Chain A
Amino acid sequence: MFEAALSRLGRMGSFLWAGWSGLAGLALLAALWQAGHEAYGAFILPSPLETLAAGAAILSDGRAWEVAMLTCIRAVEGFAVSALAGAVSGLAAGYFPATMRLARPLVTVLLGVPPIAWIVLAMIWFGSTDGTVVVTVVVAAAPLVFVGVAEGVMTRDRGLDDMARAFGAGPVQRLITLGLRHVAAHLFPALAVALGMAFKVAVMAELLANVGGIGGELARSRANLDVAAALAWVTIAVAALIVVEYGVVHPVRSEFERWRAAAQPWGVKR
């Protein structure tokens, strides 16, 4: 019990340590940004500090939080639907090859159509509503989850299945203790990518469909030629994504992937 808590604490420590190196990367980006600012001037590219100040000014206003929340809710809603639909259909496709043969061309088509085209269609179908944003997010993100899960199922180790059968496991037990457990390893990376996609597409759909949220604010900044505000809103969108990803997706994933970390030699742990 105590040991388990200790090892979890240790993992949290290495997680925070990884946060430091991430911060170093961000600092590098800020330095390049500052250089760009000094080369092109404040009108084209405001300095990072100015942008942060603009962001702080925006967030000190209560309304801005509502705007950001609106985008977050839309993105997370679309993401949740994508995760569920993608995971269920991915499982079906992985376990039943006939389904896969039907689904593969569909996925190719879905992934091949640019999100912008979906936004136009969704606007025609749903008008300027939440529905437009959520549907666009689902269409863009669900195939990613689907592919991850289906690949997970198809790369499962049949030897383990036979082993479980030799020890008397029924089909449901094999699905739960082997199939789903193996799929989880493929599911979480796919979910992380889908989540990022959900935020990006949500902002884009908001901007084009003119339905408020961060995208709506970006449209306004553009109209006012207010580059600092535009960059500040982008920063806020990225920050929201990072909070959700590092607050939810990564901790859950690292719980599931302790064995992978164990397999890595010392010194190359993430």
Chain B
Amino acid sequence: MSVLSLSHIGHAYFGRTVLDRIDLDVEPGEMVALVGPSGCGKSTLIHIAAGIVEPLRGTVAAGYRRHAMVFQEPRLLPWATARDNIAYPLRLAGIRARERRARAGAAARRVAFDAVDLDKYPAELSGGMRQRVAIARALGVDPDFIFFDEPFTALDAALKRRMQDLVIDAARNARFAALFVTHDLMEAVRIAHRIVVLDVAGKGIAGQRMLPGEPGTREDSDVFAAVQAFLKRDPLFRHIHDVNERRVA
């Protein structure tokens, strides 16, 4: 029984088709990386899957209990402290202030966000800290499914690695399933159970590859070798680094 099932999804902006006939299932506890070149419709697809955008065609069947989302930008409320930002979804759910505080603090600890920074405003935090707050906000609602839309693209290489490890650990401890959009193949290989490649023009799923072993147990050398093998020998990944600037959003 899948926790997320997309069938025959199609979408168009102002009459221009960006997605067509997309079918995708995610199993419980499974981390699926969705890759494809910039502008191929990954963000549109994940927004549709998360219920933010209404698809033109097709259906989204969600079997999970509670979902959360992490965006490419942190998307924090500038007028609220880190703590209130983490607690924002809890506030939406009508949870009382005292419990919100406690749960926000616990979520911050899970992403190693320093407690002394909890009362700072987003403008006072570095980019990495802001993204930590965004991840804590997602973990705070205790989700069994998380949507990630290129969450670490804006971070430098070292920080990116730390954040990836954080997500891998959180996924193992909390056992949530996830759809993780990225255009970084290395990231996909480190973090996921399965890689799904979107067609260059969004016309369906081009193909998918299962990854051996569990995320977090793979050696760096294996990850590197796998990425090289995909890029050099696997035709599925031929267009992964194409950039059609006019279509990038």
A contact set with B: CB distance below 8 Å:
157, 159-160, 162-169, 173, 177-178, 181, 185, 256-259, 262-263
Contact = CB atoms under 8 A, between A and B. Distances in A.
Nearest to B81: A259
B54 to A, nearest CB: 11
A166 B51 contact: yes
26 contacts: A157-B75, A159-B73, A159-B75, A160-B75, A162-B47, A163-B69, A164-B88, A166-B51, A166-B52, A166-B68, A166-B69, A167-B69, A167-B92, A167-B141, A177-B91, A177-B92, A256-B79, A257-B79, A259-B80, A259-B121, A262-B120, A262-B123, A263-B78, A263-B121, A263-B123, A263-B124
B84 to A, nearest CB: 10
A162 B78 CA distance: 15
A52 B200 CA distance: 78
B176 interface: no
Interface string B77-105: 11110000000110111000000000000
B71 interface: yes
Nearest to B46: A166
B50 interface: yes
A174 B68 CA distance: 17
B147 interface: yes
Given A162-B47, A259-B80, A259-B121, 8 more contacts: A159-B71, A159-B73, A160-B77, A162-B75, A163-B75, A177-B88, A178-B77, A262-B121
A258 to B, nearest CB: 8
Given A159-B75, A259-B123, A262-B123, A165 B80 contact: no
Contacts of A166: 50-52, 67-69, 147
A19 to B, nearest CB: 25
A185 B80 CA distance: 13
Chain B interface size, as a band, is 20 to 34
A263 B124 CA distance: 6
A69 B80 CA distance: 39
Given A160-B77, A162-B52, A181-B79, A167 B88 contact: yes
Dominant secondary structure of chain A at its interface with chain B: helix
Interface in B131-184: 137, 141, 147
A169 B92 contact: yes
A30 to B, nearest CB: 38
Contacts, number: 61
Contacts of A165: 51-52
Nearest to A160: B75
B119 to A, nearest CB: 8
A181 B80 CA distance: 10
B77 A168 contact: no
Contacts of A159: 71, 73, 75
B147 A185 contact: no
B80 A173 contact: no
B92 A164 contact: yes
Contacts of A256: 79
A168 B89 contact: yes
A168 B47 contact: no
A150 B125 CA distance: 30
A232 B79 CA distance: 42
B78 A259 contact: yes
A185 B92 contact: no
A258 B80 CA distance: 9
A220 to B, nearest CB: 49
Nearest to A261: B121
Contacts of B121: 258-259, 262-263
A260 to B, nearest CB: 8
B68 A173 contact: no
B92 A173 contact: yes
Contacts of B50: 166
Contacts of B51: 165-166
Nearest to A161: B52
A177 B71 CA distance: 19
